[in-house]
């Protein structure tokens, strides 16, 4: 029997087609410039958040803290007044506060008035009367002069924030333990130098007055959120009312 041969061809690897090349491009990481821009953007966002939180703290949270402290100090003064009605008169305590300012056109809340105009004192959400560079004349003295006061316009209670709402004829009432002192606005100065001490003079001639009288002057920073200039309001005493047992406020504060 004749031998048979396997005529099936033997295929080698050389005969197989080459694999298709990888057509997808290789991905490259972001360049240095793109990375720097991304990091810078993130820093700007972070800085913006920090600045936003600082603004919230300065313009809102400091008001909350100052109002809380001012309320406590106000309660202390009124407690002293109630106590003195039972135990007899006390010496004027200028540390705790000498009375309360009521300015309906500016605020519906009473403002505790204390001695001094330092930033530390005003930060407690109160108004302070000047002792320097020109000493204020307190209305309780009965003398002619100028009862000069300062308070913050933004942050830390912002008691004079709406000072620009005051117009000629508006009432300013100062309350003490025994008296209501009713003033009427007669002039305003929307902007003056913070070094202008003439506005605090016993006779504030810049307001148009030339003769001695019983005046009140409110001062604060302007424009709002800055301390570059001063906003000034002048009033003149029109009458004094005795405080009754019910502490009924003057007609200007009713209704």
Structure token pair of residue 30:
């972001």
When the pLDDT of each residue in the chain is averaged and rounded to a whole number, the result is 85
- The span from the CA of 149 to the CA of 25, in Å, is 76
Structural domain range at position 184: 54-253
**116: CATH:** 2.40.260.10
Residue with tokens 């209501």: 180
Looking at the domain assignment, is residue 23 inside a domain?
no
Looking at the domain assignment, is residue 6 inside a domain?
no
Q: How many domains would you assign to the chain?
A: 1
241: three-class secondary structure by DSSP: strand
Q: Which residues share a beta bridge with 99? A: 113
- The span from the CA of 21 to the CA of 148, in Å, is 90
| Residues 160, 127 contacting (CB under 8 angstroms) | yes
Beta strands in 65-152 (DSSP E): 99-102, 111-115, 127-129, 145-150
Looking at the domain assignment, is residue 94 inside a domain?
yes
Looking at the domain assignment, is residue 25 inside a domain?
no
Looking at the domain assignment, is residue 225 inside a domain?
yes
Which residue numbers are catalytic? 221
Residue range 79-107, pLDDT digits in tens = 999 887 655 555 555 668 999 999 999 98
Residue range 165-214, pLDDT digits in tens = 999 999 999 999 999 999 999 999 999 999 999 999 999 999 999 999 99
Which pLDDT belongs to residue 222? Answer: 97
Structure token pair of residue 89:
């008169």
Looking at the domain assignment, is residue 115 inside a domain?
yes
Looking at the domain assignment, is residue 214 inside a domain?
yes
Residue with tokens 């001639």: 205
| Residues 115, 107 contacting (CB under 8 angstroms) | no
């Amino acid at each position: 029997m004749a031998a048979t041969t396997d005529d099936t061809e033997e295929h080698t690897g050389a005969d197989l087609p080459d694999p298709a090349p990888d057509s997808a491009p290789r991905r490259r990481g972001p360049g240095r410039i793109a990375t720097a821009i991304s990091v810078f953007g993130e820093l700007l966002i972070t800085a913006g958040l920090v600045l936003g939180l600082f603004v919230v703290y300065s313009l809102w949270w400091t008001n909350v803290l100052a109002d809380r402290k001012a309320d406590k100090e106000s309660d202390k003064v009124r407690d002293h007044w109630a106590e003195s009605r039972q135990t007899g008169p006390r010496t004027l305590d200028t540390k705790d506060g000498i009375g309360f300012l009521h300015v309906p056109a500016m605020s519906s809340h009473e403002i505790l008035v204390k001695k001094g105009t330092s930033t530390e004192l005003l930060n407690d959400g109160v108004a302070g009367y000047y002792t320097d560079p020109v000493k204020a004349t307190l209305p309780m003295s009965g003398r002619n002069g100028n009862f000069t006061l300062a308070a913050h316009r933004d942050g830390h209670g912002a008691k004079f924030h709406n000072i620009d709402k005051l117009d000629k004829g508006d009432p300013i009432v100062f309350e003490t333990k025994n008296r209501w002192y009713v003033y009427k606005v007669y002039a305003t100065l929307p902007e003056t130098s913070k070094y202008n001490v003439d506005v605090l003079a016993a006779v504030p001639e810049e307001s148009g007055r030339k003769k001695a009288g019983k005046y009140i002057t409110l001062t604060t920073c302007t424009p709002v959120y800055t301390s570059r200039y001063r906003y000034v309001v002048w009033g003149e005493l029109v009458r004094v009312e005795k405080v009754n047992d019910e502490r009924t406020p003057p007609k200007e504060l009713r209704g």
